[in-house]
Structure 1
Amino acid sequence: MPRLSLSDLYHIAIPADPRLHPGASSVAYVVTTADRESDENRSELWLAAPGVEPRRLTGGPRDSSPRWSPDGSSLAFLRPVEGRPQLHLLPMDGGEPRVLTTAALGAGPAVWSPDGTRIAYGAPHGDLDRNAPVVADSLEYKADGAGLLRGLTTHLFVVDVATGETGQLTAGDFHAGEPSWSPDGRRLAFTASMEPDRDLVVSSEVYSVDASGGEPERLTGPGVICTGVWWLGGRLLVAGYAGDPVGHVRLFELGTDGLVEVKTGLDRNVMLGAPGYPGATPQLAGDDLIFCARDGGFTHLYRAPGEKIVGGDRVVSGVSAVGGRIAYVAATPDSAGEVYLADLTAGRAGAPSGDVPAVPGVTAPETTRLSAYALPGVELFTPRSRTFTAPDGTPVEGFVLRDETLTEPGPLLLDAHGGPHNTWAPVFDGVHLYHQVLAARGWTVLTLNPRGSDGYGEAFYTAALGAWGLADTGDFLSPIDQLVAEGVADPDRLAVTGYSYGGYISCWLPTQTGRFKAAIPGGCVSDLVSMAGTSDAGHLLKTYECRGDIAAQSPMSHVAQVTTPTLILHGENDDRCPVGQAEQWFAALRERNVPVRLVRYPGGSHLFILNGRPSHRVDYNERIVEWLEQWIPVTGTPVSPS
């Protein structure tokens, strides 16, 4: 059977943002593919139902955010008009979509009023002059992916569906979060930080505003940093941090006595969903509150208080509920993502479905076969879960990807995840294609969830705060020692790579040991001192994440020890880990005559390996494979750096 190739990136289709029809019989969703000819990512809207072949609703090329009207007669979605996303309405009884908004700087996803007559949305607000001087009085003057904000803020608007008449609800020097309608349609709730020093002290509260405009009313006080709010029936549900913005996101309900935590019985992080961080917003399925949380490497779906309803080897990355039915997207070891439908009410006391490891009675027929269509006959290697032991006795979960027919020790690539509070899962992610390609060429790929990773409890999640590199080096090196001892890995053919925090680790580990024969930091951090003043999250990093002696945690402080041939891959427009981090590491290694190469990707933000130009994403994968094969042969002796 054929194995995956790097050019298969142009064939893989990724589903996202499932939205159940109000009748709960079908689901609209987004399908994203990489178009080779235009060198752009193409997104279209599709509709699927059990037993029916999925059909395309829109032709793209950049359609997104489908949202059903309450009566299911139309579907609102975003489509660019003159380069700006605008809300469109697609009638489901036939006809072409009509443009609903003409927002000067573009509109955000639709939030329908309960009666279906109005749509609320968030949108950038302000005067955008890209040639004007950029004046900053606050650290909030840029954001990764958006670049320099130039005084723009995000505010709430309401548009009348029948007439297109639009009114602005909020204004001022703050950013309004995504709105949620009250059940009577009179008010909208949203999160915002209106404190003058919010760039220095992290805060965010829940506000409500009249649907016709007016002064927002603050509903919460200090104590919880609110990151999202939803009116679910008569309940106002809030997600946020209890105290400083470290540790787990939790769920709260706002009552007469303020915010009260929703008890889940889980020492797990609630996942609301973001690029690279799968999950979904909390919602009601019938009378049940459902939410996503990380468990080990997986993101699973739970019913409150803490009953798992979609588990097993699945990473859930989008959920929609209507009554007792849900639609969700999940990746598995065999697929980068499929759309599933499940009934949460039928036969609760019955036998569990064999299709989805979940609570008894939950069935989840698969409504799409995207990976089967995109990669016909392609056989994927399956990561195997392992538990390793760190030097201090801490268990560390990892995943070993290799051709299990091999019997001799071979080259091993350690791949470190980002965050540092992200996590690896043993599923096919459609991004790190080089994993599969290397395994087919005789490599072992080791992915680890060291302390600091999500999914293993809050104490583990916070165990590397103020101790980047210092706390987790053994978590990376001990598993390699174990695989060497088992005859899986050749100690003379080891390499390290990773992105973001993984890029930091790919700089840090070669300062601690000379055992790696090649290193490939991507989107890296090399000097925490300079990053604290140049990253869009630099103050947060210095104050909460790397508090204390940030120089001691910086690879640059130990660069004199590095001899490992290094390939540095970095987005040109990265504001999270600015490209200067790559430049500093490149210059420091070059001055010491360490073999080094710097590759910069024009226009690439920090997330370009997820959503950047397809040609850049293919190139990123290709260069990793080429650099590894330049310095480490599958058989024989590694090339000497000298």
Structure 2
Amino acid sequence: MTHLRIDDLYDIALPQQPAVSPSGEVVFVLRRADRDADRDVTALWRAEGPLTSGPADRAPAWSPDGRTIAFLRAADGPAQIWLLPMRGDAVPEEAAERVTALPLGAGPPRWSPDGTAIAFTAPVSSGPIDLDAPIEIDRLDYQADGAGLLRSVTTQVHVLDLTTGEVTQVTTRHRHTGDPAWSPDGTRLAFPAALDDDTDLTGNLAAYVLDLETGADRVVLDGSAGPVTWTPDGRALLIVGRRDTRAGHAGLLLAPLDGGPVVDLAAGLDRNVMPGETGYPGARPQVTGDGRAVLFCVRDAGRTDLYRVDLSGGPARRVLGEAGHVVSEAALAPDGTLVAVRSTPTSFGDLVRVEPDGGTRTLYSGARPLLPYRERVFTVADGTTVHGWLLRAPGASGPQPLLLDIHGGPHNAWSGSADPARLYHQVLAARGWSVLVLNTRGSDGYGEAFYTATYGAWGEADARDFLDPLDELVRDGLADPARLAVTGYSYGGYMTCYLTAHDDRFAAAVAGAPVSDVTAMVGTADLGHHIGVRELAAEPWAAPERYVAQSPLTRVGEVRTPTLLLQGVADLRCPIGQSQQWFAALRERRVPTRLVLYPGAAHEFLLTGRPSHRADYNRRVIDWVTREEH
């Protein structure tokens, strides 16, 4: 068997963002890494081959008559909306036409039901942006990871009239709006948005309906509103979110426009509804062609499944999903054609058509020769069951050096599916290592009580969930106690610091974008306030002793583990100072340490950043944990 190498990152192609025409024709985005340009390139594809050449085409959307595809293209500036007429099999890319020219670009296109208009979000500024002028700040939401300081920029809903070519901004009073959805009759738009003056403090996101004729809007749901869509009769919205602003599972909320009771159609599952976003799988809810049911995704035991539930209520049933599989996107056509992107234990990403009998037909495959993750279940000291996976080369026997890898969030989850961001798993396993991944308390997919178990108790609630399984693997003769290493990114970086500050068993550690001082994080991170009140359960001054207990920096004087820190310079989610503090303390105490900074890299660079940075990250993890001098 030919084992995966880090350089194979440049050969991995990932299908994304499928779109299905009214007659069932499928178009999707294919993402590849371009070594020479040191960037990801994206182009529109059909099953038989490329439709456009890219290098930055995405978000395809079919017109209601199936004759045109609207998509985003970033040619010589920010992404704009383009139209590509579909003329049978031979579609000349040169026929594509740009239809917006907004200074800060446009968001994904949403066709009106009659095909005469396209709604979309776009960033706008209330005045000229002077990069050298002082920036006056009176709110906490003044920065965004990947964007930096927002200044006067907000996101607003726009409508493009395809008859006249005119673009109209239809929202003005909302600070930030999410993607719009057309009502079935084409007279209204629904969208999530922040409006209140104190939204930066409360985290309140409401679901609005805007009447395009009068310009009046009204709130349909207050709380934590995410993606929205309409019921076929136009009398209610389907909203991914909550009726409050507390942290916890998102539901699939049916919210009548007449003010009737809001019903969570997914309540019986006790699972988190997943609309999909960078780093988190899932798909936006979509109403079936007969108007009787809605398809949506939930996280369950690590994997992400596609479910169907009747709009009238009743139990939800699984449509697509199995152990080790992750549905990351899905698209449904009026004729019932359903396509989805899923990763599996042997594929980084397949595009599949779901047949009426529940079977699947592969339209595009990202299968590779991969070593398989083996499912494991552990019982920790207090009786809690912890689900995980152990990666070892087939036929391996006896104790091996072992790397414990910790996911972020803390509410993300491992799945046992192929992971294109962490190729070091495969490389280490081929070199005689074991890799252990665990869905400990706080992980998604095991019920809301498990999900919220780390609130106000970061590290304290979940440390034994990592350490007890390691003890078991050592007792079973599978792990070498003298060669245990730990790594993780984001919350995983936090736990890497926390564990090495409380336990001396690890011979090496790699902390990616860690949090070392939660007090400093709350005051400097782009979402710091909301992390404080939702995750840490209080502001720093209200519970200083809790912040001290949950900060790894409090016990950095106990750390003996050689530690590598990997950090994006432009990371505003886990700011650079968090790594700098940990590095400085270890260096001052003569603990072997190194800090590697990635210029221009935001928090998600391990997933979407420069390919050279992603490859370097993977190589450095391998080199650090395998160094004999540790």
Q: Tell me the TM-score range normalised by the shorter chain.
A: over 0.9
CA contact (8 A) 2:454 2:461 kept: yes
Q: 1:615 corresponds to which letter in structure 2?
A: S
Per-residue CA deviations over 1:139-177 (Å, capped at 9, x if unaligned) read 010011111101200001101123321111011351111
| Alpha-carbon distance between aligned partners in 2 of 1:171 and 1:594, rounded to the nearest angstrom | 54
Q: Which residue in the other structure is 1:7 paired with?
A: 7
1:561 partner letter:
E
Query: How many residues are matched?
Result: 603
AA matched with 1:563: R
The aligned counterpart of 1:408 is 398
Q: Which residue of structure 2 lines up, in the alignment, with residue 311 of structure 1?
A: 321
1:576-615 equivalences under 5 Å are 576-615=573-612
Q: How does 1:164-563 map to 2 (within 5 A)?
A: 164-172=165-173, 174-212=175-213, 214-221=215-222, 224-234=223-233, 235-255=236-256, 256=258, 257-286=260-289, 287-304=292-309, 305-312=315-322, 313-323=324-334, 324-344=336-356, 361-371=357-367, 375=368, 379-547=369-537, 548=543, 549-563=546-560
8 Å Cα contact 1:158/1:211 also seen in 2: no
Alignment deviations for residues 232-274 of structure 1 (CA, whole Å, 9 cap, x no partner): 3124211212323311000111223142222552010000000
Matching residue of 1:627: 624
Give the aligned partner of residue 70 of structure 1: 64
1:91-142 deviation digits (Å, cap 9, x = unpaired):
1014420001011100000000000000000000113332222211100100
Aligned residues of 2:4 and 2:426 also touching (Cα < 8 A) = yes
CA contact (8 A) 1:192 1:207 kept: yes
Within a 5 Å distance, the mapping from 1:135-174 to structure 2 comes to 135-172=136-173, 174=175
Distance (whole Å) between structure 2 residues aligned to residue 121 and residue 420 of structure 1: 31
CA contact (8 A) 1:232 1:283 kept: no
Secondary structure at the residue paired with 2:361? coil
Tell me the secondary structure at the aligned position of residue 240 of structure 1: strand
1:20-39 map, 5 Å:
20-24=20-24, 26-39=25-38
Point out where structure 1 has 5 or more consecutive residues left out of the alignment.
49-53, 345-360, 632-638
Matched-pair contact (CA < 8 Å) for 1:264–1:306: no
CA contact (8 A) 1:285 1:326 kept: no
Residue 599 of structure 1 aligns with an amino acid whose one-letter code is V
CA distance in 2: counterparts of 1:213 and 1:141, whole angstroms? 31
Q: Secondary structure at the match of 1:516?
A: coil
Kept in 1: contact 2:15–2:364 (CA 8 A): no
- Assess, with a 3 A threshold, how the Cα gap between structure 1 residues 7 and 400 changes in structure 2: closer, same or farther: same
Change (3 A) 1:213 1:329: farther
Aligned match of 1:17: 17
**What letter is aligned with 2:337?**
R
Selected match of 2:74 from 74, 80, 84:
80
Amino acid at match of 2:140: L
Give the secondary-structure state (helix, strand or coil) at the position aligned to 2:269: coil
TM-score calculated relative to the size of structure 2: 0.94
**Displacement, 1:209?**
1.4
- Cα distance per residue 1:367-422 (max 9 Å; x no partner): 11233xxx5xxx31100111001111100001000113122211000000000000
Match of 2:312 in 1: none
* Pairing of 1:64-143 with structure 2 (within 5 A): 64-93=58-87, 94-95=91-92, 96-126=95-125, 127=127, 128-143=129-144
Measured against aligned partners, the alpha-carbon deviations of 1:317-361 in whole angstroms (never above 9, x if no partner) come to 0011123221100000110101011134xxxxxxxxxxxxxxxx2
Which stretch shows the higher mean deviation, 130-139 or 270-279?
A: 130-139
Match of 2:564 among 567, 586, 603: 567
Q: Is 286-295 or 511-520 further displaced after alignment? A: 286-295
Moved more, 331-340 or 315-324: 315-324
SS at match of 1:552: helix
Unpaired stretches in structure 2, ≥5 consecutive residues? 310-314, 538-542
Task: Tell me the amino acid that sits aligned with residue 494 of structure 1.
Answer: L
C-alpha distance in structure 2 between counterparts of 1:123 and 1:237, whole Å: 23
Percent of residue pairs identical: 48
Go from structure 1 to structure 2 and tell me whether the alpha carbon gap of 1:263 and 1:503 turns closer, same or farther (over 3 Å shift).
Answer: closer
Distance (whole Å) between structure 1 residues aligned to residue 385 and residue 560 of structure 2: 30
SS in structure 2 at match of 1:584: helix
What root-mean-square deviation, in Å, do the aligned CA atoms of Structure 1 and Structure 2 show?
1.3
CA distance in 2, matches of 1:620, 1:404: 26
Q: Supply the AA of the counterpart residue of 2:347.
A: S
Equivalent position amino acid for 1:504 in 2: Y
Describe the SS at the equivalent of 2:548: coil
The one-letter code of the counterpart of 1:553 is Q
Could you tell me whether the CA contact under 8 Å between 2:504 and 2:560 is conserved in 1? yes
Per-residue Cα deviation, 1:579-635 (whole angstroms, up to 9, x for no partner):
11000000011111100000000000000000000000000000011111114xxxx
Alpha-carbon deviations, 1:186-222, whole Å to 9, x = none?
110111121111111121111111235623222234x
Residue identity opposite 1:338 in structure 2 = D
Give yes or no for contact 1:268–1:458 (8 Å, CA) kept in 2. yes
Letter in 2 for 1:306: A
CA distance in 1, matches of 2:355, 2:3: 36
What letter corresponds to residue 466 of structure 2 in structure 1? Answer: F
State how far apart, in whole Å, the 1-side matches of 2:145 and 2:254 are. 31
Rate the CA distance shift 1:213–1:77 in 2: closer, same or farther, 3 A: farther
Aligned 8 A contact 1:390 1:478 in 2? yes
Q: Please state whether the residue corresponding to 1:454 is helix, strand or coil.
A: coil
Letter in 1 for 2:281: P
Kindly indicate whether the alpha-carbon contact (under 8 Å) linking 2:338 and 2:354 is maintained by their aligned counterparts in 1. Answer: yes
Provide the residue aligned with 1:351 in structure 2. Answer: none
